[in-house]
Amino acid sequence: MIRLRQVALVAADLDAVVDELCSTFDLSVCFHDPGVAEFGLHNALMVIGDQFLEVVSPTSDLTTAGRLLDKRGGDGGYMAIYEVDDLDRRVEHLRANDVRIVWAGDFPTIRGRHLHPRDVGGAIVSIDQPVPQGSWTWAGPAWTPFGSDVVGGIAGVTVGADDPAGMAQRWRRLELDASVGFAPATARGEGIDGVDLIAVDRSRVGETHHIGGVDFRLA
């Protein structure tokens, strides 16, 4: 099993982007994860159904997130985080396809692996196995499933790629092609450019809101 569980944006001004997401989609912050300080970041998470939008922002120099802000000329998509139920098998498969693990975390309630973006293409991807399945430690101890009056879940992400067909083939081979589509990269370069959210009010399907360097589409 593999399922898109969390999508992260990187922003120079964390509060401004979080405020706009919350006001546009009727969301609220459920957690600030102190653990991201390990990466020189602070963050905020918002729950949509039992999935999560996250915004991160650098708090120190020479961070991966800061380099991405510089490389793409501003805010944008940062990570796609997947829930899996067979982490060890997937890690073996990824390593057999020359994918490097850049971070590994093993905790009592979740195990996660961040994949090298150059080996996957288009985004930092994490595969995470929670215990029990369906829980999500990254969102804190007190979150509960929540659907606003505007959105009820995350349908998928769109990754901009210099070679969309080639990157799609690579993600399929790596068994990472759940809830992701590929489109030609913009002048900003490769990265997560779009997030599809499930509209609660079907009359709003098709709306697009550009927030934090990402096109959020109601689907």
> Is 45 contained in some domain?
yes
Q: Domain with 22 in it: what CATH number?
A: 3.10.180.10
Residue 62 vs residue 186, higher pLDDT: 186
- For 37, 128, 207, 213, the CA distances from 150, given in Å and listed in that order, are 31, 28, 11, 20
pLDDT at 203: 92
Is beta strand 191-199 parallel, antiparallel or unpaired with respect to 208-211? unpaired
Total count of domains within the chain: 1
> Is 140 contained in some domain?
no
Q: What is the pLDDT of residues 113-144, one digit of tens each?
A: 999 999 999 999 999 999 999 999 999 999 99
pLDDT at 60: 86
Question: Which range marks the domain in which residue 126 is found?
Answer: 2-135+146-218
Q: What is the pLDDT of residues 56-111, one digit of tens each?
A: 999 988 889 999 999 999 999 999 999 999 999 999 999 999 999 999 999 999 99
Confidence of residue 3 (pLDDT cuts 50, 70, 90): very high
> Is 25 contained in some domain?
yes
The strand pairing partners of 29, in sequence order, are 46
> Is 58 contained in some domain?
yes
> Is 65 contained in some domain?
yes
> Is 205 contained in some domain?
yes
> Is 16 contained in some domain?
yes
Confidence of residue 152 (pLDDT cuts 50, 70, 90): very high
Burial class (CB in 10 A: 0-12, 13-18, 19+), 202: exposed
Q: Which two tokens stand for residue 106?
A: 């093993």
Query: How high does pLDDT run on average in the chain?
Result: 96
Alpha helices in the chain (DSSP H): 14-25, 64-72, 87-96, 117-120, 164-173
> Is 141 contained in some domain?
no
